[in-house]
Structure 1
């Protein structure tokens, strides 16, 4: 026996879910914007900070900022919507030696930052 499908209720549920998705997307984007502000500050405080466009992405405009913190490379992807925060960072080509990823993982990056922060705080 076929059940009766209330198309109006289904459509409303989909609209509600899309609203929740939109809210979560906006919240995520706000968090990434906050992170981008902090990375932009670090870039201004770090010698030899550079930024380059991501060569292997399907979405245009993504960039990577490379910083040397405590003698080690750290990098972050920067969304096109946050690029305005990095106008002060030297733009280089993807083959510039300063913009060649050294293979660090996210975990390694943050472990290094934690160790460097501890070292700085003890000075």
Structure 2
């Protein structure tokens, strides 16, 4: 390789770039795993959460979890590598009415989350933390 110094430099550059790509991929996957943990927790705390296979992704194993936040839907795609976090969520057929996307955008989803969070904080705050039932619903909020 000594007679081809440019090839050696190029090979090192490619290896460095591949290492950077691997690091970024690991970081991205870690962020998605963290998000999946939080969505799984939210699903456990939300009545009527369902999960179904994602028809809009050709890669096998992808799913969509659908939650009802107040009177609005929120949904997230779930990677096959994160499916284990959703074993507690009711699996439904893709034709189930609860697994039909209502057309919300990502922006609208997060606006709905803000509104729902604000509503919950007003109804059920730290003062009632000891009054939660086995279903996760706050007795105070249910009785309002």
Do these two structures clear the TM 0.5 threshold for a shared fold by scoring above it? yes
Rg larger in structure:
2
What is the aligned partner in structure 1 of residue 47 from structure 2? 47
What is the aligned partner in structure 1 of residue 99 from structure 2? 99
Larger mean CA deviation between 83-92 and 113-122 belongs to: 113-122
What is the rounded CA distance, in whole Å, between the counterparts of 2:86 and 2:22 in structure 1?
Answer: 26
State how 1:1-123 maps to structure 2 within 5 Å. 6-123=6-123
Q: Which runs of 5+ in 1 are unaligned?
A: none
Aligned length: 120
After the TM superposition, list the runs of 4 or more consecutive aligned residues in structure 1 that deviate by more than 3 angstroms. Answer: none
Normalising to structure 1: TM-score of the pair? 0.93
CA-atom RMSD, angstroms?
A: 1.2
Q: Which runs of 5+ in 2 are unaligned?
A: 124-144
What secondary structure sits across from 1:16 in the alignment? Answer: helix
The alpha carbon displacement at 1:5 in A equals: 6.7
Considering Cα pairs closer than 8 Å and 6+ residues apart, tell me whether 1 or 2 has the greater RCO: 1
Normalising to structure 2: TM-score of the pair? 0.80
